[in-house]
Structure 1
Amino acid sequence: MNRANLVIHARTSIERGSKSFARASKLFARQTRERAWLLYFWCRACDDLADGQDHGHGMSAIANPEKTIAAMRMMTARAHGGEQTGNPPFDAFGVVAQECGIPKKLADDMIDGFALDARGWRPESEDDLLQYCYHVAGAVGCMMAIVMGVSARDHELLDRACDLGLAFQLANIARDVAEDAQAGRCYLPQSWLAEAGIDPQYILDPDRREALVMLVNRLCDLAGEYEASARVGAAKLPFRSRWAVLAAAGIYGDIAREITKSDGASLDHRVYTSKGKKLSWIVKALGQAVINSARRDRHGLWTRARAV
């Protein structure tokens, strides 16, 4: 496929896979928007391959996860090197990687997160949790920042972009605690579960529901800290990119805020934010982008330099 066709497929993918990101991406300038779609197309395809899903829905067991991860690495490496793979999402990544100079290490870091899932990994500590979030989302935040024109050598700004990825993933984990448990997964740190007196093999025990709700809210609070930090980095982006990032932060941040307000109901049904609230964040983010006054240091926050 040529670039124009890849962009069309990428747009379809983001509109199916994430209405929130699709809506926020329309605020980018055209070239940045297309590149963001191309990057998303590859990220979404990798995630679906790793989890046996279709655009994030219908998780199923993978017969040979190690082989799947190896194939993912191979096609990503070929695409990054400028080769045609014949697989549209990977070719899309090749296009955006070549155009923007995305370091291969960031792509490898993301795939490392899927490899953790493939071997049934579970976090022992909060630090482990944040490292996992870096691999599957923080690295994506860094790549997206480079798509927006941030230098791969601007480590301070990439740290802020990573923070937004961490915030998104923490909100995802909080939203999907019950669904993950039913699929045999748990991203709540073992140390948290031990403190709360929750059996790691039976986290949905009705007798420990109140304790579990407290841990879910703890995830949401953590997501809020990284969202606030990411907003500072957005201040250094070009206006339209700043607007898009602030809108995405607000829209996705509302997931964590709605979970907290649900008082445990998020364990019974998936939390969504309404179309009206998404639109209101686009308006609100416009004002924030114009004022552009976010200030906050990163003292005490996890940093991607600790990733292994």
Structure 2
Amino acid sequence: MTDRELDAAGITDPRLRAAYTHCRALNARHGRTYFLATRLLPPARRPAVHALYGFARWADDIVDALDGTPGAPAGDETLRRTAALDRLSGDLTRGLAGGPGAAPVVRALADTSERYAVDHRHFTDFLAAMRSDLTVTEYADYGALRGYMHGSAAVIGLQMLPVLGTVVPREEAAPYAAELGVAFQLTNFLRDVGEDLDRGRIYLPQDLLAAHGVDRDLLRHCRDTGRDDRRITAALRAFGSLTRDAYRRAAPGVPMLDPVARPCIRTAFVLYGGILDAVAADGWAALHRRAAVPRRRRALVAADGLLRVTAARLAARRTPPDTPTPTPRPTTPLKEAA
């Protein structure tokens, strides 16, 4: 965390500054697209975003990346991860209640929650989704997957909304923020389908896979042998269509945000959507390799975001303090978000 960001946010306590700096490092290391977009926010708001991301990353790593004892039964590893989530949940409860949080991510999250009045239920719902990842390995249909994604993705959008700010009543923008969180996670599911399979999880709905003649055994066989299968390609393409539908539903929420925050979310919108394009351009081979947005494309999108940020901040300086920001007029969703 740069001193400029911490100073702009009014964070002066050395221990708290260290906690936010830790969260920023997590964001920079694990969330390349997210981190790049965050750089387009006003400096005072960036620490809060890093805290929200850092907590989510910390919990996700407990579920996915906690090393077990070599040769230990799978049940023992699940117990280890459950215990780690229990400790994090207890630390979070104490931190949100004003007590001393042990983990830096909890200290930063509790401070952000207080500063921006983030609903504590969003954190509880998120941890519940993380717990389900320890035992649930597949979802019967899209409705079941959406139920899981409320806690794992939609609440992330809802947590962000107070930090970003809106030009409409927050409750009006909330469904779009939640849907954008879902769109981002659906993108991750498609991009990471092979890695998730290696962890024993399949996030693509079972009925969608079955409609194309795909099951776990076929996925495992093709993953192990490196072979392609037209049935898997068709299933991944269908899941890509579901994901694009989520982006279309989320897009009208972008102009509802504070003008100085829009470039950040618009950039994330375009870059995450670009991952879908990259998967398609790679022949829907996500089972075998991880698609990524080319660096040149990322740089161009970031440059466009910087131009939009500059324009928004200049406009904000020219607007008298007592002048209300007009409610945005409806626009064509994909054009507005591009």
Residue equivalent to 2:136? 120
Offset at 1:287?
Answer: 7.2
Distance in 1 separating the partners of 2:261 and 2:178: 16
Offset at 1:166?
Answer: 0.6
Question: Are 1:217 and 2:230 counterparts?
Answer: no
Residue equivalent to 2:180? 164
Match of residue 275, structure 1, among 285, 295, 303: 295
What letter is aligned with 2:215?
D
Distance in 2 separating the partners of 1:265 and 1:201: 17
What letter is aligned with 1:181?
L
Distance in 2 separating the partners of 1:105 and 1:180: 27
Offset at 1:98?
Answer: 0.9
Distance in 2 separating the partners of 1:160 and 1:286: 24
Q: What do residues 161-220 of structure 1 show as CA deviations (whole Å, max 9, x unaligned)?
A: 111111111011001111211221111111112212222344244488211122212222
Distance in 2 separating the partners of 1:234 and 1:81: 33
Residue equivalent to 1:36? 49
Listed as ranges, the matches of 1:157-306 within 5 Å are 157-206=173-222, 209-285=229-305, 295=331
Q: What do residues 222-275 of structure 1 show as CA deviations (whole Å, max 9, x unaligned)?
A: 222222332211101112210100001111111112112211332221111122
Distance in 1 separating the partners of 2:207 and 2:129: 20
Offset at 1:108?
Answer: 0.9
User: Is residue 246–residue 288 contact of structure 1 (8 Å, CA) maintained in 2?
Assistant: no
What letter is aligned with 1:227?
Y
* 2:165 partner SS: coil
* 2:98 partner SS: coil
Distance in 1 separating the partners of 2:257 and 2:130: 30
Residue equivalent to 2:93? 77
Residue equivalent to 1:2? 15
TM-score by length of structure 2 reads 0.78
User: Is residue 154–residue 179 contact of structure 2 (8 Å, CA) maintained in 1?
Assistant: yes
What is the alpha-carbon root mean square deviation over aligned residues?
2.7
Distance in 2 separating the partners of 1:10 and 1:223: 29
Q: What do residues 49-72 of structure 1 show as CA deviations (whole Å, max 9, x unaligned)?
A: 121259xxxxx9555333233222
Higher mean alpha-carbon deviation, 6-15 vs 203-212, is at: 203-212
Match of residue 109, structure 2, among 74, 87, 93: 93
Distance in 2 separating the partners of 1:129 and 1:158: 20
Q: What do residues 11-46 of structure 1 show as CA deviations (whole Å, max 9, x unaligned)?
A: 211110111111110110112111111111111111
Say how many residue pairs are matched.
292
Distance 1:184-1:142 versus aligned 2 partners, 3 A rule = same
User: Is residue 20–residue 104 contact of structure 2 (8 Å, CA) maintained in 1?
Assistant: no
Which sections of structure 2, spanning at least 5 residues, go unmatched?
1-13, 68-73, 313-327, 334-338
Distance 1:294-1:216 versus aligned 2 partners, 3 A rule = farther
Residue equivalent to 1:51? 64
* 2:41 partner SS: coil
Question: Are 1:12 and 2:25 counterparts?
Answer: yes
Residue equivalent to 1:306? none
User: Is residue 166–residue 258 contact of structure 2 (8 Å, CA) maintained in 1?
Assistant: no
* 1:266 partner SS: coil
Offset at 1:295?
Answer: 3.0
* 2:277 partner SS: helix
* 1:115 partner SS: helix
Distance in 2 separating the partners of 1:295 and 1:155: 19
Offset at 1:286?
Answer: 6.1
Question: Are 1:129 and 2:145 counterparts?
Answer: yes
Distance in 2 separating the partners of 1:213 and 1:234: 32
Higher mean alpha-carbon deviation, 265-274 vs 251-260, is at: 265-274
User: Is residue 251–residue 281 contact of structure 1 (8 Å, CA) maintained in 2?
Assistant: yes
User: Is residue 137–residue 200 contact of structure 2 (8 Å, CA) maintained in 1?
Assistant: no
Distance 1:285-1:226 versus aligned 2 partners, 3 A rule = farther
Tell which structure's C-alpha radius of gyration is larger.
Answer: 2
Higher mean alpha-carbon deviation, 203-212 vs 101-110, is at: 203-212
What letter is aligned with 1:7?
Y
Distance 1:41-1:96 versus aligned 2 partners, 3 A rule = same
TM-score by length of structure 1 reads 0.86
User: Is residue 167–residue 222 contact of structure 1 (8 Å, CA) maintained in 2?
Assistant: no
Distance in 2 separating the partners of 1:293 and 1:221: 27
Distance in 2 separating the partners of 1:267 and 1:294: 38
Distance 1:100-1:114 versus aligned 2 partners, 3 A rule = same
